[in-house]
Structure 1
Amino acid sequence: MAARPHEVVPVDRRTAHSSTPPRDEDLHRRLVYGDESALGEVYDAFGGLVHAVARSVIRSTNAAEDVVQEVLTHLWARPYAFDPARGSLRAWLSMLAHRRAVERVRDEAREPGPALADAALLHAALTELPLAQRQVLHLAYFAGRTYRQVAVELSIPEDIAKTRLRAALRSLADRLADPPDPAVERGI
């Protein structure tokens, strides 16, 4: 029998010490009722995953550790943000870690940044992209839109928006990884 929202449901301590991982619904219920051991179990079960997701985006171990703390703090402070009926805790934590890591990268990009030469290289690489890729990239990174918002704004399917964004990022990475030598371009 499912608990009604106003009922107090006792925490089952056997779940906390079981050798099998607890179900998402059990963890969620325990988190909602402030069971700190549930947060520990979430960390034990998913902390490595959250760190790996953040590290893949940020490329910094220390920043990835900060993201793990932010994600778990968010779960502890707002356990209702996770809905076990909509998906697994693993997927939700991964999504949240990715989102927080991307926010950190965007925040760093907004800080006073690259030298003038680097900015010129980036500008040159951007102008070489096809218009469709430039539009998607501009909306996603410079205007702060999600790929879904980009798709709506450009009246294109979401998968096309993602494909264009990935292609644009790959092209930029290739161009910026091996920038042209200015001396060669001037014929020196």
Structure 2
Amino acid sequence: MPDRRESLEPMRLPWLRPAEPSPPTHEDLVRRVALGDEAAFEELYDAVSPQVFGLIRRVVRDPAQSEEVTQEVFVEVWQQAARFDADRGRAVSWILVIAHRRAVDRIRAAQASADRDLRQGIKEFQESYDDVQDIVEAKIEGERVLKALESLTQAQQEAIRLAYYGGYTQQEVANLLKVPVGTVKTRIRDGMIRLRDKLGVA
């Protein structure tokens, strides 16, 4: 005969079990990062970095630079976590805004550097062929140079962009375009002459 005490034992009801703690939200992690919690920072990085890198890669394109910018973003998150305000939006949105700003800054810096290189190239060309480099240097600005480039032939644009924006040597440009190096030199020389004329240098 079954023991009545066994039948009277209270059932273990699943809803009476203690609830397991829910994982921290991104907002929780940022708040802990603001307090200097390195473990929370690592967890936040693991959770959000793929999305951050994806956004930066779409803007910057270059994988290596995208990785560098991603690291810069998380350094800023670590330093500025105390400024995050959950009442104004989600933590992920806040981090992605930082990522987008950093990516745009990197593009602008690269563009400025390319413009300087091209201006220097035109200046050196002028020094080799005539004595008007001071006029060229005074007149040339990045936007004017880019607009003037559009007046060149496609072949001239390719050669000049690779040489001055891509940083390739004339031999490397020739290899990339699969043409003789003499052809590259001619395209760059003729393109520089047209640029000089377009920019109003006598």
TM-score normalised according to structure 1 size: 0.51
Establish whether residue 122 from structure 1 lines up as the match of residue 126 from structure 2.
no
Contact 1:75 1:81 in 2 (8 A): no
1:165-176 correspondence runs (5 A): none
What are the Cα deviations for residues 51-99 of structure 1, in whole angstroms up to 9, with x where unaligned? 1111111111111111111111111112123222111111111111110
1:54-69 correspondence runs (5 A): 54-69=56-71
Alignment coverage as a number of residue pairs: 112
1:90-129 correspondence runs (5 A): 90-111=92-113, 112-114=116-118, 122-124=146-148
Q: Which runs of 4+ in 1 moved over 3 A?
A: 113-116, 118-121, 124-127
| 1:22–1:63 Cα change, 3 Å | same
- Determine which structure has the larger helix proportion and give its number: 2
Separation of aligned partners in 2, 1:54 and 1:31: 22
Secondary structure, in 3 states, of the residue corresponding to 2:76? helix
Which structure has the bigger radius of gyration?
2
What are the Cα deviations for residues 129-172 of structure 1, in whole angstroms up to 9, with x where unaligned? xxxxxxxxxxxxxxxxxxxxxxxxxxxxxxxxxxxxxxxxxxxx
Ranges in structure 2 where 5+ consecutive residues have no aligned partner: 1-20, 123-141, 152-190, 192-202
| 1:96–1:124 Cα change, 3 Å | same
Contact 2:73 2:98 in 1 (8 A): yes
Q: Which residue of 2 aligns with 1:75?
A: 77
How high is the sequence identity, in percent, across the aligned residues?
A: 37
Q: Which residue of 1 aligns with 2:37?
A: 35
Contact 1:21 1:45 in 2 (8 A): no
Contact 1:75 1:82 in 2 (8 A): no
Separation of aligned partners in 2, 1:106 and 1:83: 29
Q: Which residue of 2 aligns with 1:46?
A: 48
Contact 2:30 2:44 in 1 (8 A): no
Ranges in structure 1 where 5+ consecutive residues have no aligned partner: 1-17, 128-181, 183-188
Q: What value does the CA root-mean-square deviation take over the aligned residues?
A: 3.2
| 1:121–1:32 Cα change, 3 Å | closer
